[in-house]
A and B are shown apart, each in its own frame.
Chain A
């Protein structure tokens, strides 16, 4: 194999590229230089990162301070967005959070002119130093290991030189020095499994392609992150797209595929733009093309924008979608590795698996395999959201327990509420209660607990969330996204949704729970792809761990968390309501709130649409609006006074 490749030429071309990149990076990181790195991935942008960047430029310019301001990716600390790393001579680079244009003005004034590090918004220093606490000293970093996110937030994702200076593409050069068989052995020894959720050993897919040597074959990067509540793939594409390009190059060399596709959701415009730019830059520097770095090995990548169908995350559906058809899964076998895109052998890998591939070669398989558990190697990447104090991206070694992630890294549930459940794996996953929190995060333990690793969304639910409503939400999603091919998935999920809607509306019957359990088994057995096979998981786990809530809905017509609208009523406590305050009356869209004869406000239950406006409008010092479930327990109120007839002229 290696005989056809001019490795020497590639190595030479790469070292000259690396030299150039190091020079550029060194200039930026010079100890006497000042710079500002603004985190400007989608989450940062929606929090106002672009305004912050503009403010930095203006302020620095107006004070005549010479500093480079660049956009970088996501730091993973979404709770403190917008974020920026600020460096000035004599100080380590400092991470600041909760920025706004006005705070930036102060920051520039205080840090650059008065040498006051502005501790109020200071999160931590990036490098080792003897003056300031480091980010790495924060308790959560004792548990976190940033491997997939190794460059995220530290480099300009739109500059290939920054990536190369920070170890990108070195793994590919190492791979190129090996034969395919050697490279495959290294993959095998590393124990890397598909990080998209399935956990299929990554080397096996590659081996299947190698066995088809000589045939045209394809590579697909699955970036169709359709799971609501998951944004890890997006962050990698936005913050470090070159790790994916490098992963695809490695995969291309190992499998012998000449062309790769990145199938990315169109709902992520920034991710589409950045991976596109990364590919263009890689082509310009010779890292992609007919002869990569002059080695004679040809590989190129094309970006395909997904058109918004959850089922396209399934590999055979994705292949159909790239071919321009409806994204419907088909029967496997034949697996895509035998007959995939345009009928040719195809390997489909998730973004995270590809981003991890270079590490296997730069670190060596032994070191890679030293992180994680016996069966699951490496790290797991989670998007922590919902009722958590520190939402954001969390990367932990496999084997870390859920409790550590939720309480030690996420900071637990805010505002003193009680933790109820954690939803893992999106619509295909399940809800685990507090008693299951000592489950280690790895592929096999999670399946045992009834959830799946899935794409990696981790949503925290507290006592104010209703489990029936949560299950109904996920089912509504899968029911809508079912492609309609398999009867059980198409009609079964609709039946389940109807039953759950009945239960949440107080029309449930005691036998419904058993009916749901039976239907769940049937759907699992009667569906082709994982969308259908895993669709009942949210119901199965909520019934398993929170059966009492289902029973309360059915038998007592009560929603314990006071979420289900039909079972909940809004009520204004007469002894807490302050007579002259009309805040709730003004906020009520259907004008359901009126004053009784003592000018105490009363909710007209017939008109109330349960929009929650009055609860938000009632000043916290009165806090008179409460929710009551079941509806029958609402105390009787004085009826609405008759409207005085206005005299018509």
Chain B
């Protein structure tokens, strides 16, 4: 998910707040809606929500940090959730988590510098039968192994490069009179 501009955030939140009554009890559902829209809870957004409900920003932040669901930094384009429920743990889930961290060089809850990947540790996702499980861009991958992490990253990289190539190809084929460019392969 792209980092959104402040203006856009404020506008988005206003439209969400318009439909919600000014009641304290709606705070969590408002926060959930904001996170669904932006992928995280922007700081400006929480201040705005506090104004709407007549609370202090600290109040809103306090509730938001209490719950595991809310995040305060934007997720990467490819968001990876690593399940560390009981069944995943006894089947070596932490080895999988270590491998993700090592390969992406970030810690859980962080995002790579290029904004491409982020890792999140989650409790049980309820697919204990396929443990250990990682969720890569909403796709559940079961029976994980440390070297499958490399495979998934490679796959993702190839898909990304392919998409870039195609986008480039399309851009190049637009100029009139231009011949079809030869297919390129990465070295």
**Interface residues, chain A, CB within 8 Å of chain B?**
42-43, 45-47, 78-79, 81, 226-231, 234, 266-268, 304-305, 307-310, 321-327, 383, 385-387, 391-392, 423, 426, 457, 459, 461, 465, 470, 473-474, 477, 483, 587, 589-590, 609, 611-613, 616-617
Closest A-chain residue to B138, C-beta based? A269
**Interface residues, chain B, CB within 8 Å of chain A?**
23-29, 31-32, 62-63, 66-70, 84-87, 89-92, 95, 98-99, 102-103, 122-131, 133, 140, 142, 145-147
B67 touches A386 (CB 8 A): no
Contact check: which of A227, A483, A589, A590 meets B124 at CB < 8 Å? A227
Chain A residue contacts of B126, Cβ below 8 A = 42-43, 231, 234, 267-268
Report which residue of A226, A477, A589, A609 has the largest number of chain B beta carbons within 10 angstroms of its beta carbon.
Answer: A589
Chain A residue contacts of B128, Cβ below 8 A = 78, 229, 231, 383, 385-386, 391, 459
**What distance in Å separates the Cβ of B34 from its nearest Cβ neighbour in chain A?**
12
**What distance in Å separates the Cβ of A100 from its nearest Cβ neighbour in chain B?**
14
B85 touches A229 (CB 8 A): yes
B32 touches A266 (CB 8 A): yes
B129 touches A611 (CB 8 A): no
A459 touches B102 (CB 8 A): no
A324 touches B25 (CB 8 A): yes
A228 touches B86 (CB 8 A): yes
- A280 vs B133: C-alpha distance in the bound complex, in angstroms? 33
- A617 vs B148: C-alpha distance in the bound complex, in angstroms? 11
- A144 vs B17: C-alpha distance in the bound complex, in angstroms? 50
Task: Given A42-B126, A46-B140, A227-B124, answer yes or no on A385-B31 (Cβ-Cβ < 8 Å).
Answer: no
A387 touches B90 (CB 8 A): yes
Closest B-chain residue to A459, C-beta based? B86
Of the A-B pairs whose beta carbons lie under 8 Å apart in the complex, a sample of 29, sorted by A's number, is: A79-B129, A228-B89, A266-B32, A305-B28, A305-B32, A307-B68, A307-B69, A307-B70, A308-B68, A310-B123, A322-B25, A323-B24, A324-B23, A324-B25, A324-B27, A326-B62, A386-B86, A386-B131, A387-B91, A426-B86, A459-B128, A473-B86, A474-B86, A589-B146, A611-B99, A612-B95, A612-B145, A613-B147, A616-B147
- A53 vs B170: C-alpha distance in the bound complex, in angstroms? 35
Closest 3 CB pairs of A and B: A228-B85, A229-B86, A385-B128
- A227 vs B89: C-alpha distance in the bound complex, in angstroms? 13
Contact check: which of B90, B95, B133 meets A386 at CB < 8 Å? B90
Contact check: which of A229, A309, A613 meets B87 at CB < 8 Å? A229
A459 touches B90 (CB 8 A): yes
- A387 vs B129: C-alpha distance in the bound complex, in angstroms? 10
Chain B residue contacts of A426, Cβ below 8 A = 86
A324 touches B129 (CB 8 A): no
B32 touches A307 (CB 8 A): yes
Task: Given A46-B130, A228-B86, A392-B129, answer yes or no on A611-B102 (Cβ-Cβ < 8 Å).
Answer: yes
A465 touches B124 (CB 8 A): no
Task: Given A47-B142, A609-B98, answer yes or no on A324-B87 (Cβ-Cβ < 8 Å).
Answer: no
B28 touches A473 (CB 8 A): no
A386 touches B87 (CB 8 A): yes
**What distance in Å separates the Cβ of B139 from its nearest Cβ neighbour in chain A?**
9
A385 touches B86 (CB 8 A): yes
Chain A residue contacts of B103, Cβ below 8 A = 589
Closest A-chain residue to B25, C-beta based? A324
A611 touches B25 (CB 8 A): no
A609 touches B102 (CB 8 A): yes
- A474 vs B89: C-alpha distance in the bound complex, in angstroms? 10
Contact check: which of A42, A322, A474 meets B127 at CB < 8 Å? A42
Chain B residue contacts of A474, Cβ below 8 A = 86
Closest B-chain residue to A267, C-beta based? B125
Chain A residue contacts of B129, Cβ below 8 A = 43, 47, 78-79, 81, 385, 391-392
B28 touches A321 (CB 8 A): yes
A611 touches B66 (CB 8 A): no
- A226 vs B85: C-alpha distance in the bound complex, in angstroms? 10
Query: Other than the known A43-B130, A385-B128, what 14 A-B pairs have Cβ atoms closer than 8 Å?
Result: A42-B127, A228-B85, A228-B87, A229-B86, A230-B124, A234-B126, A308-B69, A326-B63, A385-B86, A386-B86, A459-B87, A587-B147, A589-B103, A611-B146
